[in-house]
Amino acid sequence: MSAEPSAWRSDMVSLTNGGFVMQVREVMTPRSQASYLDMDASIREVAEKMQQDGSGFEPLVQGDKIAGTVTDRDIAVRAVAEGKSPDDKVSSIATTSVLYTFEDKDVKDVLQNMREQKVQRLVVLNNASDKDFTGILSLGDIANRCEDDEAAKGIVGCCKHYH
């Protein structure tokens, strides 16, 4: 019987997948074929899309590139708390420094990066040369697919800065 890694598969895997590196593409949420809102969309449009999609994170585009991101927390903290109108442009509250990783990166390394950056989600790009948007990686994605002590500690470490 062969011990090849592709022969072993489960919904719950360790970060090292039996001694082999678990890559981001194996746990990320793939990009949907749905359209994305652009930076000129209103805060209301983004909130409605989040509600429709059941998501708290929305990539924003300008042309065919990601120009920013907005979270449900951004809407609460940057829009509501600052008295912005729901009809204001989402660009007024969006994060324009888009944090990302690549599909082939080791999940353990990415989890450490997420902890250092104090973020719960990263945009996933295909590779360093093309930089095509292929999905989103969240702590939830990692938690849903990984089952080992190292993964649990990494996820807890990422959440420690929230009070």
Q: What does the pLDDT profile of the chain (163 residues) look like in tens digits?
A: 323 333 333 333 445 555 446 899 999 988 876 678 999 999 999 999 999 988 899 999 887 788 999 999 999 999 999 999 999 999 999 999 999 999 999 998 998 898 888 888 999 999 999 888 888 998 888 888 777 667 666 666 666 665 4
Beta-carbon count within 10 A of 56 CB:
16
Q: Which helix (H) or strand (E) holds 48?
A: helix 43-53
- What are the structural domain ranges in the chain? 23-158
- Superfamily for the 23-158 domain: CBS-domain (3.10.580.10)
Please name which of 101, 98, 97 lies closest in space to residue 142, comparing C-alpha atoms.
101
Largest CA distance in the chain: 65
